[in-house]
């Protein structure tokens, strides 16, 4: 429940011990983020120091579901780096590891994608495959990532 609104079956990220920064830490139990907040219209009342939430048009939409097991980040607008590759997921099956740098998707330089676009790719239908060009330990590597339902 958030601001008196019941949000059914939210998908949250729970930090693992190897996660750092805003996504990890022993004092965090999860990250709701934009996936939940996009269901609301947010108003910032600076004078009274309040955040006001109203039900938005997307309130009852399904939560987008990642089918890769990857968590990516692009620190300071630089390289797209694998923050984590969850065990037992397509990313793990493809041999993708934390710290890998994603260089291309299906032969397209990753510089043509922002993180939102990449996340959308990994929400495609089960069975969708992508060829990812990776850099690991100064060596290039190509892997096939085939999406499947994780929940």
Instruction: Please state, in angstroms and rounded to a whole number, the distance separating the CA atoms of residues 23 and 10.
Output: 17
Contact 70/44 with Cβ under 8 angstroms?
Answer: no
Contacts of 27 (CB under 8 A, 6+ apart): none
**30 vs 57: CA distance, rounded Å:** 25
Q: Global pTM?
A: 0.70
Q: Kindly report the number of other CB atoms within 10 A of residue 13's CB atom.
A: 17
Query: Which residues of the chain are under the pLDDT cut of 50?
Result: none
pLDDT in tens, 107-137: 999 999 998 899 999 999 999 999 999 999 9
For residue 17, count other CB atoms closer than 10 A to its CB: 7
Q: Which residues contact 32 (CB under 8 A, 6 or more apart)?
A: 2, 10, 12
């Amino acid at each position: 429940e958030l601001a008196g609104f019941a949000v059914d079956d939210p998908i949250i990220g729970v930090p693992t011990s190897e996660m750092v920064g805003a996504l990890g830490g022993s004092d965090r139990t999860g990250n709701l983020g934009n996936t939940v907040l996009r269901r609301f219209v947010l108003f910032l009342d600076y004078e009274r120091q309040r955040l006001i939430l109203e039900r938005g048009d997307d309130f009852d939409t399904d939560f987008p579901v990642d089918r890769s097991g990857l968590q990516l980040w692009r620190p300071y607008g630089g390289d797209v780096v694998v923050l984590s590759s969850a065990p037992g997921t397509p990313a793990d099956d493809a041999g993708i590891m934390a710290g890998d740098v994603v260089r291309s998707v299906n032969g397209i330089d990753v510089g043509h994608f922002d993180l939102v676009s990449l996340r959308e790719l990994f929400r495609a239908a089960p069975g969708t495959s992508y060829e990812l060009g990776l850099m690991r330990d100064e060596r290039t590597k190509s892997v096939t990532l085939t999406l499947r339902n994780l929940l």
